[in-house]
């Protein structure tokens, strides 16, 4: 099979090069925490716009751990600034159009995104042929909130009267306690039942997705990092939320693609649930860390299973 060389492997390289090498109609799901296009770091800059402030620090941020860097300022008056969302949409369209023929009819695609840029990714995937099924809200128990007190900024400028007038106001956003997950599917020719019978995708495992004994909601709560879970990537997602999405839409033995593998969390979720994975990661450093992480995880699970077998043998 064409996909065998990539199966259960993280391949270092650009997914735009490797996705075309996959077999058509072979993937049961695509699950990925794609770059958000919000200039989080160099790997997240997906445009040609340049600015001296990009990925730097303002004087007010120096020496403060909560302000390691800043993205492109959102001003709105610069024509090049306005091109950034369009550049992001075009980039999403590049890989989405390559992905479309590789998925089985009825297969799901889950992408994490930023509230400010996800709509551009949605349009790109729709233009590539996918249909939007839902937007899930993944609720986080906590989130780092960066918002400067404008009164402090004004005090530093010597504007004491203005500082008093603006007491209690801040420069920034609300605490980001949720992230959207766009859920797409590849259209099918006949009924959803026919697709389930032919491709074994398209149905939703309501039992596996239950939360508090109720049918799966589109607000995901209680899915966070486990104690001791390795944190390698600043945008890393918990394995638990990835496992939830996979349980919801895939079966054991099926193949899941993550074209932006990052820290390897999708691979670990697939291994835990007996799914096959195919992963691509363009950043060589991230890829090496992910490979080491997945290798260590598989070894640890194997040792644990071996220990359980020995224990069970002794019981008898």
Q: Say if 202 falls within a structural domain.
A: yes
Joined together, the tokens standing for residue 140 give: 């986080």
Is residue 85 classed exposed, middle or buried when 0-12, 13-18 and 19+ CB atoms within 10 A define those classes? middle
Q: How confident is the model at residue 314 (pLDDT cuts 50, 70, 90)?
A: very low
pLDDT range class, residue 307, cuts 50, 70, 90: low
pTM score: 0.87
Q: What angle do CA 166, 171, 175 make, to 5 degrees?
A: 120
In a domain, 64, yes or no: no
pLDDT at 68: 56
pLDDT at 306: 54
Contacts of 303 (CB under 8 A, 6+ apart): none
> Is residue 184 domain-resident?
yes
Number of domains in the chain: 1
Residue 188 lies in a domain: yes
Confidence at residue 227, expressed as pLDDT on a 0 to 100 scale: 92
User: From the CA atom positions of the chain, what is the Rg in Å?
Assistant: 22
Residue 60, pLDDT > 60, answer no
Quote the pLDDT of residue 316. 37
pLDDT tens per residue across span 161-190: 999 999 999 988 888 999 999 999 999 998
Q: Inter-axis angle of helices 265-272 and 239-249, to 10 degrees? A: 50
Name residues whose C-beta falls within 8 Å of residue 30's C-beta, 6 or more positions apart in sequence. Answer: 99, 103, 107, 108, 109, 110, 111, 256, 257, 258, 259
Which residue segment(s) compose the domain that 252 sits in?
Answer: 2-46+89-142+177-315
**CB 177, CB 140: distance < 8 Å:** yes
- pLDDT (0 to 100) of residue 313: 37
Q: How would you list the strands of the sheet with 103-112, edge to edge?
A: 9-12, 276-281, 255-258, 27-32, 103-112, 178-185, 131-139, 219-220
Residue 59 belongs to a domain? no
Tokens found for residue 121: 């990714």
Q: What is the pLDDT of residue 49?
A: 63
Residue 308: the pLDDT is: 53
pLDDT, position 315: 44
- 245 domain residue, yes or no: yes
- The 10s digit of each residue's pLDDT in 85-125 is 899 999 999 999 999 999 999 999 999 999 999 999 999 99
Quick one: CA dihedral 164, 165, 169, 170, positive or negative?
A: negative
Rounded to whole angstroms, the Cα distance separating 34 from 282 reads 12
Inside any domain, residue 154: no
pLDDT of residue 24 exceeding 60, the answer is: yes
Cβ atoms within 10 Å of 60's Cβ, excluding its own: 13
39: alpha, beta or left, given left = phi > 0 and alpha = psi -120 to 50?
Answer: left
Vertex 91 angle, CA 88 and 92, to 5°: 90
Q: Which of 13-27, 34-48, 128-142, 180-194 has the lowest mean pLDDT?
A: 34-48
For the domain that residue 257 is a member of, what is the CATH number? Answer: 3.40.50.150
204-252 pLDDT tens trace: 999 998 888 888 999 999 999 999 898 888 889 999 999 999 999 999 9
* Domain annotation covers residue 152: no
- Orientation angle between helical segments 284-315 and 265-272, nearest 10 degrees: 20
Q: Averaging pLDDT over each range in 22-31, 37-46, 76-85, 164-173, which range is the top one?
A: 22-31
């Amino acid at each position: 099979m064409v996909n065998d060389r990539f199966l259960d492997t993280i391949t270092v390289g650009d997914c735009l090069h490797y996705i075309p090498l996959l077999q058509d109609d072979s993937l049961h799901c695509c699950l990925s925490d794609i770059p958000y296009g919000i200039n989080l770091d160099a790997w997240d800059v997906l445009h040609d716009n340049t600015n001296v402030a990009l990925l730097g620090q303002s004087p007010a941020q120096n020496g403060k751990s909560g302000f390691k860097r800043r993205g492109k300022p959102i001003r709105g008056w610069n024509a090049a600034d306005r091109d950034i969302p369009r550049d992001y949409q075009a980039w999403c369209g590049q890989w989405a159009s390559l992905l479309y023929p590789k998925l089985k009819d009825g297969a799901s695609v889950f992408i994490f995104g930023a509230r400010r840029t996800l709509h551009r990714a949605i349009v790109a995937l729709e233009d590539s042929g996918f249909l939007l099924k839902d937007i899930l809200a993944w609720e986080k128990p906590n989130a780092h909130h960066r918002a400067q007190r404008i009164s402090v900024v004004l005090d530093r400028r010597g504007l004491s009267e203005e500082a008093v007038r603006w007491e209690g106001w801040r420069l920034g956003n609300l605490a980001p306690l949720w992230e959207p997950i766009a859920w797409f599917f590849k259209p099918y020719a006949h009924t959803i039942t026919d697709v389930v019978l032919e491709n074994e995708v398209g149905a939703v495992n309501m039992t596996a997705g239950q939360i508090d004994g109720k049918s799966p909601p589109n607000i995901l709560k209680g899915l966070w990092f486990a104690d001791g879970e390795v944190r390698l990537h600043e945008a890393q997602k918990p394995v638990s939320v990835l496992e939830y999405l996979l349980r919801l839409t895939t079966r054991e033995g099926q193949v899941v693609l993550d074209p932006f593998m990052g820290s390897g969390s999708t691979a670990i979720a697939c291994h835990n649930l007996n799914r096959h994975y195919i992963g691509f990661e363009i950043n060589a450093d991230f890829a090496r860390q992910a490979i080491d992480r997945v290798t260590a995880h598989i070894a640890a699970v194997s040792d644990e299973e071996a220990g359980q077998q020995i224990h069970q043998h002794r019981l008898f």
